[in-house]
A and B are shown apart, each in its own frame.
Chain A
């Protein structure tokens, strides 16, 4: 890297004036970007990595302002300072899309739903180049072909909602590359995608970069992705640059305490947590037999519908007492539906769920009536993925946690207050936060509140639907460790639903791999992760980016 950098960011600061204070989103950050290299900016939520990326294109959302610093883009006639160009006017528009292009996190919503894919790509080309519409269309088709979208000519006239998530991100990449930009900024481009799709998109970006000698600024929170694609890495924390290093050096010899902590929490998930050995004779708590849930796809004007979506297509699974059973699968595999069906959010169309109650009797959840289900809510509880939307913002923490006590037990107000304080302490939160509201807490704290709510009634089985997916990586193992402690303390059983195989390996005893509403493979976690037998499981596991750059094909010996 002896050549002159294409982009030099020096002493960049971005402020967001809040109601009464100022949030310094980016503080005095400097870095260089060279032609043909991939610089990964990594950090947890709130680290300022996305704001930094947006500042380069003058796209910082209101009320954010760039308060100081320079962003120098190398040009034929010397350097252009993007900060000096301001956020509107022809000068900055000449750079956006033409010299520096950007792709975004949400492929579902980053393309307009009311314009064809072709229209959006052709528009970009015509904005920056004086060529005819036919030529632009021809180039757009070639681009779609280049990002491996089948039948590109026809795809030009399709709408984004007719494409899958991975296809949309490909189209987005084609659009970004349409004017041969020198720099591509990718803001978490694979976070919303399944792991197998993520692997395809990452290799596509890498390939296109080699072809064109583009510089890529890649924003991510995923150390696995960093290890796979970065040349250099910049670590950010609370708006500041913590460390910048070659990817192999960073993973081998992290210099700063924060980087070490971040890598530590990633690597901790790489090895399974110590587990007590399972008893020889297992007592099942729930036995799922040939469970099926089919949604009719068409209403069937008169009579029966003709096609069904088989969300769950004949699943048999046993959860034993005190055991953690993981369910892993990609989006659309039916794993979330399975969890919800066990609580009768959906009524299954076929099969049984034989649940053994605390008093030794067995009931079939699949055919249980309303009153029977109500009595079960004290024994089977759920923890949800998104701690921001699963807590009612208008209820206090005390009201939230005591609500299941109110509906399932006849405790007095006084008893409930004591129980809530005890629960809050148990999940590692201060006991006196009962009269505050959820918005006052961070994602990790909210998930602890959700856990306190779930264990309030001393349940026996908890269905946890992606409880750590919305959390930063440093918080994940903390929440999992808490759930593990509660398990040994109260003898809980978990059905643990996740798309993330590393979390499953860390936390579960057994795991079921789901695809298209069926279980393709089930067994001990170690066995499935080390020696998967089914082809699909193998693909799933090999697609997960491992946080170790030495596993890369281009790693130095």
Chain B
């Protein structure tokens, strides 16, 4: 088992390197660089642009150098824990992103856990009572939820809470708690704010997980080992929960691998709409202004989160299924 985990972690290293190359290439793809965007901004505000100043900026950031040299400079810094400086904020990237990345991870994790908590029992019930009223209701909900775009749900929710209940739910904290240290009161404030993005982010995923769980379990319910379990006198509920559900969980666990990236990319739009202090809006801004070190760090860390998600799902799979563990 330990060997299995170590092997998986070793396999993550080349994947991580590939992601870093890809992230760097993507950032370099649009024409121009941060300095040219900066110059355009200044020109737009009507001021005169001094080309000597621009040139010195380019020199300072090392933007004139070969792309390959730039990449190695960047990745070499990261290996030492230095993600470089943000051009736009004039601050080290590390200072800027930890809080934001942490918030993204927190929101994603909460969403994932809640998605599982809801979709698992509903999916099991739906399969065990196929074609019952509850099954039809959950199916109707699932299709509706899957078809509704996240940002639309966010806007509608904002509208309803603000106009009907007079509560502002934008952001993750009330202004009073924004910079306060963590306390019980702040936690409660977080919960009252966080349910909106979690609800918006999780609805579509919960819906598809319900469908996946239902389909998986329906496939298992008619297998001979279920009948054999019934023939030895197991009560129905215990039989379904301990036998077919155990087997049907496999594809469900594997979903962590794709739910995490979907959450993180979905979060970008939702966070912008809801004005959340997560990584998404900052990444968007960094990409727009070609703030390359900041954008690169975000993309790299998001990729890292996805890899970790896959690792977690692989480990969970190995724990739950002896066929994977032993072969």
Mask, A81-110, CB within 8 Å of B = 1, is: 000000010000111111001101110011
Whether A93 contacts B235 by the Cβ 8 Å rule is yes
Whether B232 contacts A96 by the Cβ 8 Å rule is yes
Whether A172 contacts B247 by the Cβ 8 Å rule is no
The CA-CA distance from A485 to B286 in the complex, in Å, is: 79
Task: Name the distance in Å between A51's Cβ and chain B's nearest Cβ.
Answer: 13
Whether B326 contacts A162 by the Cβ 8 Å rule is yes
The answer to whether A127 and B228 touch (CB under 8 A), given A112-B243, A114-B246, A114-B322, is no
Q: Total interface residues on B, using CB and 8 Å? A: 23
Mask, A136-180, CB within 8 Å of B = 1, is: 000000000000000000000001011000000000100110000
The CA-CA distance from A296 to B121 in the complex, in Å, is: 43
Task: Name the distance in Å between B21's Cβ and chain A's nearest Cβ.
Answer: 24
Name B227's closest neighbour in chain A (CB-CB). Answer: A59
The CA-CA distance from A273 to B232 in the complex, in Å, is: 46
Partner among B233, B236, B242, B246 whose Cβ is within 8 Å of the Cβ of A124: B233
Whether A175 contacts B225 by the Cβ 8 Å rule is no
Whether B232 contacts A172 by the Cβ 8 Å rule is no
Name A107's closest neighbour in chain B (CB-CB). Answer: B224
User: Chain A residues with Cβ under 8 A from B53's Cβ?
Assistant: none
Is A512 in the interface zone, CB < 8 Å from B?
Answer: no
Whether B323 contacts A127 by the Cβ 8 Å rule is no
Task: Name the distance in Å between A175's Cβ and chain B's nearest Cβ.
Answer: 7
Is B113 in the interface zone, CB < 8 Å from A?
Answer: no
Whether A159 contacts B232 by the Cβ 8 Å rule is no
The CA-CA distance from A57 to B247 in the complex, in Å, is: 25
| Size band of the interface chain A makes with B | 20 to 34
Partner among A97, A109, A116 whose Cβ is within 8 Å of the Cβ of B233: A97
Task: Name the distance in Å between B235's Cβ and chain A's nearest Cβ.
Answer: 6
The interface centre, meaning the residue of B225, B229, B236 with most chain A CB atoms within 10 A of its CB, is: B225
Task: Name the distance in Å between B251's Cβ and chain A's nearest Cβ.
Answer: 14
Partner among A57, A159, A175, A176 whose Cβ is within 8 Å of the Cβ of B323: A159
What is the count of residue pairs linking A and B with beta-carbon distances less than 8 angstroms? 76
Is A73 in the interface zone, CB < 8 Å from B?
Answer: no
Which of B227-253 touch A at CB < 8 Å?
Answer: 227-236, 242-243, 246-247
Is B60 in the interface zone, CB < 8 Å from A?
Answer: no
Is A430 in the interface zone, CB < 8 Å from B?
Answer: no
Whether A114 contacts B230 by the Cβ 8 Å rule is no
Whether A57 contacts B326 by the Cβ 8 Å rule is no
Whether A161 contacts B232 by the Cβ 8 Å rule is no
User: Chain B residues with Cβ under 8 A from A176's Cβ?
Assistant: 232
The answer to whether A102 and B326 touch (CB under 8 A), given A112-B225, A112-B246, A114-B321, is no
User: Chain B residues with Cβ under 8 A from A128's Cβ?
Assistant: 233
Is A113 in the interface zone, CB < 8 Å from B?
Answer: yes
The CA-CA distance from A128 to B231 in the complex, in Å, is: 13
User: Chain B residues with Cβ under 8 A from A161's Cβ?
Assistant: 322-323
Partner among B224, B321, B322 whose Cβ is within 8 Å of the Cβ of A104: B224
Is B223 in the interface zone, CB < 8 Å from A?
Answer: yes
Is A479 in the interface zone, CB < 8 Å from B?
Answer: no
Whether B246 contacts A104 by the Cβ 8 Å rule is no
The answer to whether A111 and B233 touch (CB under 8 A), given A159-B322, A159-B326, A162-B326, is no
Name A119's closest neighbour in chain B (CB-CB). Answer: B242
Is B320 in the interface zone, CB < 8 Å from A?
Answer: yes
Query: What would be 14 A-B contacts, judged by CB atoms less than 8 Å apart?
Result: A57-B231, A59-B227, A97-B232, A109-B223, A109-B224, A110-B225, A112-B225, A114-B247, A114-B320, A116-B322, A123-B234, A124-B232, A127-B233, A162-B326
Known: A61-B222, A114-B322, A128-B233. 15 other contacts (CB 8 A): A59-B227, A59-B230, A96-B230, A96-B232, A96-B233, A97-B233, A104-B228, A104-B231, A113-B225, A114-B247, A114-B320, A114-B321, A124-B232, A161-B322, A175-B232
Interface residues of A (CB under 8 A from B): 57, 59, 61, 88, 93-98, 101-102, 104-106, 109-116, 123-124, 127-128, 159, 161-162, 172, 175-176
Q: Which 8 A-B pairs have the closest CB atoms?
A: A97-B232, A97-B233, A96-B233, A102-B231, A93-B233, A110-B224, A124-B232, A110-B228
